[in-house]
Structure 1
Amino acid sequence: MVEFVKSHGLGNDYIVFDKTQINFPLTEKNIRLICDRNRGVGSDGILVLEKINNQEFKVRIFNPDGSEAEKSGNGIRILAKYIYDYKYTTEKEFFIYTLGGKVKASVIEEQNGRAKTIEVEMGKVTFRSSEIPVAGPEREVIDEELKINGEILKITCLSIGNPHCVFFVDEIDEEKIKSLGPKIENNPIFPNRINVQMVKVLDSNKIEIRIWERGAGYTLASGSSSCAAASAAYRKGLVNNQVEVIMPGGTLHIRINPDWSVNLIGPVEEVFKGELSEEMLYKLKD
């Protein structure tokens, strides 16, 4: 029996497994099958938890295309809720190791003894091309021109443990992000592919974004994308250091600190828990 929990952060949903319960290989084929919304459980990704001790945990984050992600703001909040709700720790503050670095998670609001709102210290932002990475000479990638579909976009790129490409618009156009997203994600100047955010600045404390997520496609919400969009807007002097980020799935609150570390606050909600069937496990072990 392989149990799992499914939760979402503003509509961005993940399946959580305890590593000790998994009895099938985490291959690209298996990840794709589990995330498939018609033939599997269905999700925007998979989180695999490993407990180190009462205050430290590891996570592997998988995209629905089978690739592995370095970091996810919504994923980390979902995992933190799972850790707290299912008594993997007795603490309200603990650390999670990701491929994109160590983060601190804090339960700041509860409901009926279960985590409702989580704050995550997401790590530091860098705009350096070699650290994102972006091809070409060493530089900060701010307002560079990128030609896509015959259109010149001004892009700002950064990493917060995973790579992001941000461009600003006067009006949000969902069809445009769906069209440009995959072309930007897979552009050869991004050797590890990249997450993409379309941003409209509403005022000095508020932005609206649309997201094309690397390995997942168009996404209702993303924690790391919210951090990236807010950081790019702040770097360009368009907003203050505390920003509300509005997405189709809801709103997250971002704080950019003087050292360019970023804090993320947002809700998370469990949807259901279950177990993979014998038939599914047979397919996963095949």
Structure 2
Amino acid sequence: MKFAKYHGLGNVYIVLETETSATPPSQAMIKTICDTHYGVGSDGILWGPLPSGTCDFGLLIYNPDGSDAEKSGNGLRIFARYLFDTGRVSYQLFTLETLGGNVGCSVAEDNKKVEVALGQVSFASSQVPVAGAEREVLNESMTINGRSFKFSAVTLGNPHCVVLLDAPPTPELAQTFGPHIEHSPLFPKRTNVQFMYVQDRANIQIEIWERGANYTLASGSSSVAATAVARRLGLCDNSVTVHMPGGTLAVALDSNWNSTLIGPVTKICDGEIAPEMFQER
């Protein structure tokens, strides 16, 4: 089974080429591949390219626990770079179909920066989803393990809970409270969690707990979700630099809440997975 390994600001994805892996990997295989000790090590799996009736290519994205990731900003940017590297696309705009909706992608001429139009964001509780009455989920309160937080919820094809802070977040904060928020009854499909501090109208800082992937250094969809919440609350402008432990991404929102994400992608290696990796330990 051949693979390619890339990262976007330390957010690592493995591309499994459909030409050499004709059927999607099982949950057990995904867990093994993503394991840093017994596998290749990754924050997720990109399985493609797949045929699509609506886009140039289709793509399935998996979390390290084997669950579906409807959409991933960094994963999509990485897969766009992979398609470029394998000669399937050039510098022109192309489209990808995901479980979380269709997106547009383009690769910059230096081959290292990739732009993705991730689609329209929504704060509607039924779309995220968030339990309770139909509403826009903005600046609500929750108490987790004795600590109170203000949060907002947003979707761009996958669910996000953005926690607003009055001081810069720490990795420890995300690792302590992130898993409890991810599995809160408020979120029937679980949720990605961003702990956000607004530095000024053009810069925000986040720490990330990803649904099915745990603590991560960077996340494209998390960057868009946090920017959308900050913008909706009137705390930032339409174009923002998002600061994460892995680096920065540029996010832009138009007047209809359509989002664009721009940032670097780095190739790590190509390789081939030996069948014995999947044998019982």
User: Aligning the two structures, in what range does the TM-score lie when normalised by the shorter sequence?
Assistant: over 0.9
> Does 1:142 find its partner at 2:138?
yes
In structure 1, distance between residues paired with 2:8 and 2:87: 20
Return the match for 1:208 from 188, 195, 205: 205
TM norm structure 2? 0.95
Identical pairs, percent: 49
Tell me the residue number matched to 1:197. 194
Number of matched residues? 277
> Does 1:240 find its partner at 2:229?
no
Tell me the residue number matched to 1:161. 157
In structure 1, distance between residues paired with 2:174 and 2:24: 34
> Does 1:280 find its partner at 2:277?
yes
Contact 1:252 1:265 in 2 (8 A): yes
In structure 2, distance between residues paired with 1:206 and 1:217: 24
C-alpha distance 229-70 of structure 1, shift in aligned 2 (>3 A): same
Q: CA deviation at 1:109?
A: 3.3
Contact 1:84 1:92 in 2 (8 A): no
Q: CA deviation at 1:24?
A: 6.1
C-alpha distance 180-160 of structure 1, shift in aligned 2 (>3 A): same
Tell me the residue number matched to 2:112. 116
Tell me the residue number matched to 2:264. 267
In structure 1, distance between residues paired with 2:89 and 2:173: 44
Q: CA deviation at 1:108?
A: 2.1
Contact 1:109 1:118 in 2 (8 A): no
1:171-229 deviation per Cα after TM superposition (whole angstroms, max 9, x unaligned): 22321111110000000110000000001111110001000000011100000000000
Tell me the residue number matched to 2:129. 133
- SS of the counterpart of 2:109? strand
TM norm structure 1? 0.94
Contact 2:154 2:160 in 1 (8 A): yes
> Does 1:67 find its partner at 2:64?
no
1:181 maps to amino acid: G
Structure 1 moving runs of 4+ over 4 Å: none
Unaligned runs of at least 5 residues, structure 2: none
1:140-165 deviation per Cα after TM superposition (whole angstroms, max 9, x unaligned): 00011111111221110010110000
Return the match for 2:166 from 148, 170, 180: 170
Tell me the residue number matched to 2:9. 10
Unaligned runs of at least 5 residues, structure 1: none
